[in-house]
Structure 1
Amino acid sequence: MKKSKMILGMSLVAITGLTLVAADHIDAPSVTGNAADITDFYAFQGQDTNNMVFAVNTQGLLTPNSTAAAAFDENVMIEVNIDNTGDNKEDLVIQALRRGSKMYFFGPYAPSATGKTSTIDITKASGSVDISKYGATAVTSTENGMKFFAGPRDDPFFFDLGQYQDVIAAKATAFKTTGFDTFAGTNVLSVVIEVPKAKLGTAATLNTWVESKKKQ
């Protein structure tokens, strides 16, 4: 299945032992409110220090009433890109795609091409998980040494939008402590992948970013 790029998440460097975050709420009009809208990307060392965790949040600002009806799009693939050579090109990808009530995962493996288009190598399937339902117990699965989750979660990103706007407008000079969480009470749809570091190469530093790609 060939894909075309819809939106590129922020690039970041993930160093073993650190938690690093990229966030992008509201400011992408072409994808706001649909399944291609990436709101946050987190990369961090797992509780098992032999593992890395990649968490991708999509479809931000879901109210409790709208969360139950929100769904991953079967025509939108979520792709985690991993550069382990320092050239800012993906050496490995981990891909997630919904089919029915499950999320299927592929990789990590070397992509057939880099950049805007991707293909899924169905022979490199790493596992699947039932998509968790809003208000129900979270469902996870473990296959091939990897752990998976897909479903609704409370938006974890804290941001005081009002104070930010005041700073930009020169009505304030700094953020408040602790400030007001603009995203409190809203939800996202999340995909979480925990993968052994051994599957990611031997580099001490990884450059990783996330994309959503629409089926052509």
Structure 2
Amino acid sequence: MSHHFSGPNFGFPRDDARLDITDLFAFPKPGDAGKSIVIMDVHPSFSVAPPGPTTTEPFAPEALYELKVDTNGDLIAEIAYRVRFVPAADGGLTATLRRTEGPDAAGVGETGDIIVQDAPVSTGHETHVTEAGPYRFFAGWRSDPFFFDAGGALNNLQFTGEDTFADKNVCSIALELTNTALGTAGVNLWHRSLVQVDGAANGWVQADRGARPSQSVFLPGEDRDAYLGAEPAQDDGFVDTFSHALEHAGGYTPEDARIAARSLLPDVLPYDYTLPAAYPANGRALTDDVGDVFLAILTNGKVTSDKVGPHTDLSSEFPYVGTPHNATPRDGGAGYSATAGEL
């Protein structure tokens, strides 16, 4: 289910939906080869355990949302973009975006040069886009672009083609930036959420992280907390855990399971802005069928499709994800999509 529900028992990290990072997209800007689009989606509008809507507050003011950029292949960030939200006088939220380079990018905190400050957060159907030099920034509720038959996944992979996310919403942090702001043509990307915790080192604890869809939901097992709290440079330590899960899920031999596990780790999204986006080789477009890619690996080729295709409500303009839905619960919770009043 992409990165949705990455907490224990298909719940949320630290029991907070706002900290659940769901999807990471990176693709060249349509019509402008000199720029890229990066979208970090967080906070599903519904939960499955227990079924029902999540909070209508889009982002957690006590959290920090980060995009990490590894420019030299060492799986350590040389560039980081950090977003922090604060309550606004009108009851909404505003966002501040910072950029930092060098050793600080691999660390934790709110340091960095301010790129965007006090940007309004979209809490309904409005689309507040903030421009700052070559950057464009958006944060707020949107239609969830992820497509997958989650019900079939939870029913022993018996897929019917019903798209669980067709009428769901998610909170997007979208960034348009020059390619040079990513540092180099070939980078590794991942995103993470952190939350302030008293007594923690540097005051922050990593709640969730990832780049590749679905694997953090299905594969870490008892090592879930350690995996979500780790860095890509530490992912070699989870090969055995992933291998064990793949042996059981796909009937792999131990040797082949390790090969499959290493194809999923480290948990980063490779992106070269000189090439078209095509997951898993390069970046990820909003229409890439990442669910089918993961199913083929999980089942060792026994299941190759959930029979669901891309959404048709995407936008042709920044931030490219569609406006949030006005829908009512379809099945008492699992089909929840926020109404206009709730947004």
Q: Supply the AA of the counterpart residue of 2:151.
A: G
CA distance in 2, matches of 1:98, 1:200: 23
Bigger mean CA offset, 96-105 vs 24-33: 24-33
Is 1:150 paired with 2:132? no
| Contact map agreement 2:68 2:105 (CA 8 A) in 1 | no
User: Percent of counterpart pairs with the same letter?
Assistant: 26
Runs of 4+ in 1 over 6 A off after TM superposition: none
User: What do residues 13-45 of structure 1 show as CA deviations (whole Å, max 9, x unaligned)?
Assistant: xxxxxxxxx931123135254221111111111
Deviation at 1:113, TM superposition (A): 5.8
| Contact map agreement 1:38 1:58 (CA 8 A) in 2 | yes
Kindly indicate which of the two structures has a greater share of residues assigned to helix.
Answer: 2
| Contact map agreement 1:39 1:58 (CA 8 A) in 2 | yes
Change (3 A) 1:111 1:102: farther
> What secondary structure does 1:119 align onto?
coil
| Contact map agreement 2:68 2:81 (CA 8 A) in 1 | yes
TM-score by length of 1: 0.75
Alignment match, 1:90: 77
User: What do residues 127-148 of structure 1 show as CA deviations (whole Å, max 9, x unaligned)?
Assistant: 132101213x201011031010
CA distance in 1, matches of 2:105, 2:188: 18
Q: Supply the AA of the counterpart residue of 1:141.
A: T
Q: Supply the AA of the counterpart residue of 1:59.
A: H
CA distance in 2, matches of 1:68, 1:165: 24
CA distance in 1, matches of 2:16, 2:105: 29
Larger-Rg structure = 2
Alignment match, 1:162: 151
> What secondary structure does 1:35 align onto?
helix
CA distance in 2, matches of 1:102, 1:109: 24
| Contact map agreement 2:130 2:137 (CA 8 A) in 1 | yes
TM-score by length of 2: 0.49
Alignment match, 2:216: none
| Contact map agreement 1:132 1:150 (CA 8 A) in 2 | yes
Is 1:190 paired with 2:172? yes
CA distance in 2, matches of 1:84, 1:144: 23
Alignment match, 1:39: 22
> What secondary structure does 2:152 align onto?
helix
User: What do residues 176-213 of structure 1 show as CA deviations (whole Å, max 9, x unaligned)?
Assistant: 6xx211112111111111111112223x3110000101
Alignment match, 2:4: 25
CA distance in 2, matches of 1:191, 1:67: 18
Q: Supply the AA of the counterpart residue of 1:78.
A: Y
Deviation at 1:164, TM superposition (A): 2.7
User: What do residues 17-74 of structure 1 show as CA deviations (whole Å, max 9, x unaligned)?
Assistant: xxxxx931123135254221111111111122211211111111349x9578323111
Alignment match, 1:104: 96
CA distance in 2, matches of 1:67, 1:153: 14
| Contact map agreement 1:68 1:134 (CA 8 A) in 2 | no
Counterpart of 2:59 (choices 68, 72, 82) is: 72
| Contact map agreement 2:45 2:55 (CA 8 A) in 1 | no
Deviation at 1:167, TM superposition (A): 5.0
Unpaired runs of 5+ residues, structure 2, are 88-92, 197-202, 204-343
| Contact map agreement 1:23 1:41 (CA 8 A) in 2 | no
- What's the Cα RMSD here? 2.4
Bigger mean CA offset, 180-189 vs 74-83: 180-189
Kindly indicate which of the two structures has a greater share of residues assigned to strand.
Answer: 1
CA distance in 2, matches of 1:25, 1:62: 10
Q: Supply the AA of the counterpart residue of 2:22.
A: T
